[in-house]
């Protein structure tokens, strides 16, 4: 069974990987895909890179998909 997580990304990217840890650990479901929704804000895009690095290290079986919105949102 495929388990896909869709998550908006802000300036606290660890929340996303903690949720994957919760789903796999507590709910005992193997996450297959993670789709993150990010704006063009540099801090947000840095967070996406952090998520990608964490997935490669801790959850290499999760496929990352990034949807980048065409605007910045942090003022």
- The one-digit pLDDT tens for each residue of the chain (75 residues) are 899 999 999 989 999 999 999 999 999 999 999 999 999 999 999 999 999 999 999 999 999 999 999 999 876
Name the pTM for this structure: 0.92
Separation between Cα atoms, residue 11 and residue 30, nearest integer Å: 26
Q: Are 36 and 64 in contact (CB under 8 A)?
A: yes
Q: Can you tell me the distance from the alpha carbon of 62 to that of 57, in angstroms, rounded to the nearest whole number? A: 11
Element (H, E) at 7: strand 4-8
Q: What is the pLDDT of residue 2?
A: 95
Please give the CATH number for the structural domain made up of 4-68: 3.40.50.720
Partners of 6 in beta bridges: 35
């Amino acid at each position: 069974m495929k388990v896909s997580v869709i998550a908006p990304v802000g300036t606290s990217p660890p929340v996303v990987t903690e949720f994957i840890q919760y789903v796999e650990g507590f709910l005992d479901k193997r996450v297959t895909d993670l789709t993150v929704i990010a704006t063009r804000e540099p801090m947000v895009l840095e967070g996406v890179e952090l998520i990608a690095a964490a997935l490669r290290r801790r959850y290499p079986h999760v496929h990352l998909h990034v949807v980048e919105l065409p605007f910045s949102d942090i003022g």
